[in-house]
Structure 1
């Protein structure tokens, strides 16, 4: 094989690899998805969701994301012109319509408890000005409406709360009570012995 042929084959191979790498990203852009997760030093993480389409061309005016078990929403950032309502179990963004094709990011601060390698699924509802909505809730990534999903790493996870310690018993009163009981037993024993001697 001569040099031009080798160069041609390398270029074709590089193009094929690039296509394979870009295919998941292109597919992910077709729905609401997890774009990135940024762990923090305090055991929390910022999870950013992204979408770039409306409902059959109609602009998006609200997105609601439900937290899975093991994930608690703490706070969220709203895009310009939008407001956000946060509860531990759910986050809802709403506001000025976002045109179809415009990339929009929605970031929420969360606390995740679980194990490294565990998948967390975030069902999402996208609402549009047309009155239509998309329910992104399929847990199978190949489904028609795949839910946003992430696989946790150890850096994303917060340590579970330590179990509550059993209530401690104050030692002072206990020692005092034992001392009184001991003294009482001694006095009682001495009194009984004294009575026995007097009878003799």
Structure 2
């Protein structure tokens, strides 16, 4: 009788461990999948203009975000930060007179898990390289995060712990006009926000799928525990 009781207690513990493990994995994986600063759109055309939106939905280890410093890559012909009542803006310029960095400081710190976004208009010329990396330093009430890593040749950017936002540059079409110039040249911030919302939705979908995988792992652990109990019984 005592042996049977002990087996029952062990089985219950295994079941609880499996369920808890699956639940934790289901919650943790989506959080890790969305933990980065993203840029939208992620492609522009050489010689074109566009509005880039940098967004985030997390702080530094759960600490609210106070500022974002975006460093400009070489190859930009112009940079014009977008005025926003939620942020104060500090612009740094290099010896050539071009904008080298823009710091957006939140009027009120952005709480963790709430989306924050800043934007700027950028101009490209025909000599702009094929990709533009925008290193970002995210400062929080406590601590900071540096989103500055770049993928090496053949390396998967998604494998990086703290990737810098990157914009790919497509070749201009034969008539000299890019594929994205109609809305981008107008500097339509609403369109940029719409694209950012689509990207956020895609990220959420990825997080949901990964979370489902974690829950499935928990269910698998439950099944293994039940089978083990039956064998012992």
Asked if 1:80 corresponds to 2:85, the answer is: yes
Q: Distance in 1 between matches of 2:126 and 2:164?
A: 19
Q: Which runs of 4+ in 1 moved over 4 A?
A: 37-40, 114-117
Q: Show the counterpart of 1:133.
A: 144
Cα distance change, pair 147–120 in 1 and its aligned pair in 2 (3 A): same
Question: In the TM superposition, what are the counterparts of 1:119-158 in structure 2 within 5 Å?
Answer: 119-130=131-142, 132-140=143-151, 141=157, 142-153=159-170, 154=172, 155=178
Q: Retained in 2: the 8 A contact 1:61–1:97? A: yes
Asked if 1:33 corresponds to 2:44, the answer is: no
Q: Show the counterpart of 2:63.
A: 58
Deviation at 1:79, TM superposition (A): 4.2
- The TM-score with structure 1 as length reference comes to 0.57
Q: Retained in 2: the 8 A contact 1:37–1:46? A: no
State the Cα deviation string for residues 72-106 of structure 1 (Å, max 9, x = none): 45211254331112241111100220000111121
1:109 to 117, 121, 140: 121
Q: Whose relative contact order is higher, 1 or 2, with alpha carbons under 8 Å and at least 6 apart? A: 2
Consecutive unaligned residues of structure 1, counting only runs of 5 or more, are 1-22, 159-200
- Select the structure of larger CA radius of gyration: 1
Consecutive unaligned residues of structure 2, counting only runs of 5 or more, are 1-28, 93-98, 152-156, 173-177, 182-233
- The TM-score with structure 2 as length reference comes to 0.49
- Superposed CA RMSD: 3.1
